Structure 1
């Protein structure tokens, strides 16, 4: 059984409205050094199949990430 984490973020150049909102809120609360905030997703699950990396990549390309505007990073333990 593998423990899988998939980190998904918008690609550079894609406007991150949530990131801008977080950045603005933090700046407004006094953390003026915060810039270029990006908000992403973390998906965690257990996977019992074979060839974990390849199968999780297929999952990302098919369902978990919108590869037109998002990139992803897979961690397997």
Structure 2
């Protein structure tokens, strides 16, 4: 089976987010004065294939050892099964 894996990485709440603060100030200057608490993170998407349990374990490992710094960042993993392409879509 093939899965779309999304890893959402964000700074832990206790870590200052200068990029988020910059975005917040820019939004304020553009007239969006009701926006507060902006935090900026990253999204990593990848496709993994295999048995679901193995894919989940691999995705969690990648999220915490390669894609994020667990001292400063939180990582959340989302896994969605990708339906196999129909013969028409695959060009058969």
Provide TM-score, normalisation by structure 1. 0.95
Provide TM-score, normalisation by structure 2. 0.80
- Which protein has the larger Cα radius of gyration, Structure 1 or Structure 2? 2
Report the Cα distance in structure 2 between the residues aligned to 1:58 and 1:49, rounded to whole angstroms.
Answer: 15
Deviation of 1:48 after TM superposition, in Å, equals 1.2
Report the Cα distance in structure 1 between the residues aligned to 2:7 and 2:64, rounded to whole angstroms.
Answer: 12
Structure 1: stretches of 5+ with no match in the other structure = none
Report the Cα distance in structure 2 between the residues aligned to 1:44 and 1:59, rounded to whole angstroms.
Answer: 12
Deviation of 1:49 after TM superposition, in Å, equals 3.3
Specify the alignment match of 1:64 in structure 2. Answer: 67
Report the Cα distance in structure 2 between the residues aligned to 1:20 and 1:75, rounded to whole angstroms.
Answer: 27
Deviation of 1:62 after TM superposition, in Å, equals 1.5
Structure 2: stretches of 5+ with no match in the other structure = 81-92
State the number of aligned residues.
Answer: 77
Secondary structure in 1 matching 2:4: strand
CA-atom RMSD in angstroms: 0.8
